[in-house]
Amino acid sequence: MRTIDGKIAVLVVEDSPAARLLLIHLLTSDPRFGVVDAVDNGAEALRFLEGGRPDVILMDIHMSGMDGYEVTRRIMETRPVPVVICSATVDPAEVASTFRALEAGAVAVVAKPAGPGHPDHEASAAKLLEIVALMSEVRVIKRWPRLRRSTGTTSAIVPANGRSQEGPIQVVAIGASTGGPPVLQTILASLPASFPVPVLIVQHIAAGFLPGFAEWLSHGTGFPVRIAAHGEVLLPGHAYLAPDGCHMGLAPHGRIALSRQSPENGVRPAVSFLFRSVAAECGSRAVAILLTGMGRDGVTELKLLRDAGAVTVAQDAESSVVHGMPGEAIRCGGASHVLGPDKIAALLTGLLAAPSRPALVPTTKR
């Protein structure tokens, strides 16, 4: 439902009067948006949806009564609308609700913008408006109450040449942006406990949310996930997240290298930095995966890895919230496989089923 003058129709759900007024002011100051209503709790939001369908909902996560997770779950199971979670909470103990909302079907998380007069006001407001505009175009589908996932085994993917892809894979590198958290959860949850190599992840995410994200991923997948530290030795069967404001790369002898070099593709950490370092250190002994997200971060470097003989994967359009990064990688020939999340996990399991492979670091001490 667009507004009468063709603007993007936004429903604001925010229980703080000051934050609600700020969001309304930002949205109505931009000619792209029209605020069709602003309510202070989830029950009111659900009542609004009984008679109207906005293009996008901008919603707080912590509200009286139903929290943002429960409201999102009900929306996606009854009247699906793109939901953008707008949260100021960065406490790891509470951020889990934010990522559970993504699990339930929310399409993005954005930090609440700083107020007028704050040095970050303009940048944070512009980021929020960019995300809301982009997410208003996302197609969402009705979600039925989730059933327990089958524990049956999945067959390995066989490439087009008919041969199973085996080789001394030493590292998996993953880049993700908008829509990435639930996809990463699906992939990591599907990997066996004995997964024999480390997983390096660059996920574009609002500053401050990373510790809660790491905890949510670890809890939800059973796969150990930590924020990377400079010089840390990589362990098999562990996932490492690039820290806020730092590029993460693979250094010699299987160690983490962090850098505060200039942003690439407008972001730091950048997927491009990670992929380039993996290409330099591992070449054909790597798997690189580019997931949902806007922009071109990692696109050129995925092609670099494919040309070096690595296995390269781009997420398919059907399962991507935003098919910008993986779509660009497919168009430029950087992806040897185009798959949905479940099949990406199956591919990884199949590729790494070999009983032995060289380690990233020597197994004996010098």
- One domain for residues 207 and 265: yes
Q: Can you point out the beta strands (E) in the chain?
A: 8-13, 33-39, 56-59, 83-87, 108-111, 171-176, 199-203, 225-227, 239-241, 247-251, 255-259, 286-290, 311-315, 337-339
What pLDDT score does 145 carry?
55
For residue 89, what is the domain's CATH number? Answer: 3.40.50.2300
Alpha carbon distances (Å) from 250 to 246, 263, 273, 352: 13, 17, 9, 19
* Residue after which a domain boundary falls, among 107, 135, 163: 135
Do you know the residue count of the chain? 366
150 in a domain, yes or no?
A: no
Q: Among 40, 55, 67, 297, which one carries the catalytic annotation?
A: 297
- One domain for residues 261 and 324: yes
- Helix 180-189 crosses helix 210-221 at what angle (to 10 degrees)? 30
- One domain for residues 77 and 202: no
146 in a domain, yes or no?
A: no
208 in a domain, yes or no?
A: yes
What pLDDT score does 283 carry?
95
251 in a domain, yes or no?
A: yes
What pLDDT score does 159 carry?
37
What pLDDT score does 225 carry?
97
**Domains in the chain: how many in total?**
2
What pLDDT score does 353 carry?
79
- One domain for residues 105 and 186: no
Alpha carbon 90 to its chain centroid, in Å, reads 17
- Report the chain's C-alpha Rg in angstroms: 21
pTM: 0.86
| List of the chain residues with pLDDT < 50 | 146-166, 363-366
Q: Among 40, 67, 124, 204, which one carries the catalytic annotation?
A: 204
Examine the residue annotation and report whether 262 is marked as an active-site residue of this protein: no
147 in a domain, yes or no?
A: no
* Residue after which a domain boundary falls, among 109, 135, 161: 135
Amino acid in the structure at residue 116: P
280 in a domain, yes or no?
A: yes
What pLDDT score does 156 carry?
33
- One domain for residues 23 and 118: yes
- One domain for residues 222 and 279: yes
CA dihedral 236, 237, 243, 249 (to 10 degrees): 40
Examine the residue annotation and report whether 219 is marked as an active-site residue of this protein: no
* DSSP code per residue over 252-280: GGGEEEEE-PPPBTTBSS-HHHHHHHHHH
160 by DSSP, 3-state: which?
coil
Q: Which domain holds residue 72?
A: 8-135
Examine the residue annotation and report whether 177 is marked as an active-site residue of this protein: yes
What pLDDT score does 354 carry?
54
- One domain for residues 332 and 253: yes
- One domain for residues 131 and 178: no
- One domain for residues 193 and 321: yes
176 in a domain, yes or no?
A: yes
* Residue after which a domain boundary falls, among 135, 163, 181: 135
- One domain for residues 78 and 122: yes
Q: Among 87, 97, 177, 336, which one carries the catalytic annotation?
A: 177
What pLDDT score does 362 carry?
52
- One domain for residues 31 and 88: yes
C-beta separation of 32 from 58 below 8 A = no
For residue 258, what is the domain's CATH number? Answer: 3.40.50.180
153 in a domain, yes or no?
A: no
- One domain for residues 127 and 189: no
